[in-house]
Amino acid sequence: MTMVENGKKVTIEYTLTLEDGTVAGTNVGEDPLVYEHGVGQILPALERELEGLEVEAQKQVHLSPEEGYGPVDPEAFRTVEPGMIPEEARQVGAFLTAHDDAGNQQDVRVHEIQDDRIVLDFNHPLAGEALSFDIKVLGIE
């Protein structure tokens, strides 16, 4: 019997829901997610919860913010001049992609607009959120 274990290619269907019931992501009815188990391609706590499941197994997994994308880091907010932000993105909630000197990309969100400054949030969009996954294992190779 094939089970989810390190080194296996696992195919899953999932729906991710936040504490308030908001669906934050799903691939139901779309292409399934395929990952290699044990190499950190998905959240480590989620990987642990899927260990040992078989094809067709379904599981609900609840992760605390610490097990998910971590708590909101107050050090991850940066204040910039408005001219550094494209005019169409100068609104709370807008997402941008920042590039560092090494060429790495990171998604950032406009957190606050002040008179002469814009506050950007570099936290993961799901930081500070408890996560609930409904998962179905579709395949294991």
Q: Mind listing the pLDDT tens digit for each residue in 15-72?
A: 999 999 999 999 999 999 999 999 999 999 999 999 999 999 999 999 999 999 999 9
Q: What is the pLDDT of residue 86?
A: 92
Q: What is the pLDDT of residue 20?
A: 96
Q: What is the pLDDT of residue 64?
A: 97
Instruction: Tell me the per-residue pLDDT of 105-128, one tens digit each, with 9 for 90 and over.
Output: 888 999 999 989 999 999 999 999
- Expressed as residue numbers, the domain containing 13 is 9-69+127-140
The answer to the question of residue 1 being in a domain is: no
Same-domain status, 51 and 82: no
Phi-psi region for residue 49, left (φ > 0), alpha (ψ -120 to 50) or beta? alpha
Same-domain status, 47 and 19: yes
- Residue 15, domain CATH: 3.10.50.40
Same-domain status, 80 and 46: no
Same-domain status, 52 and 79: no
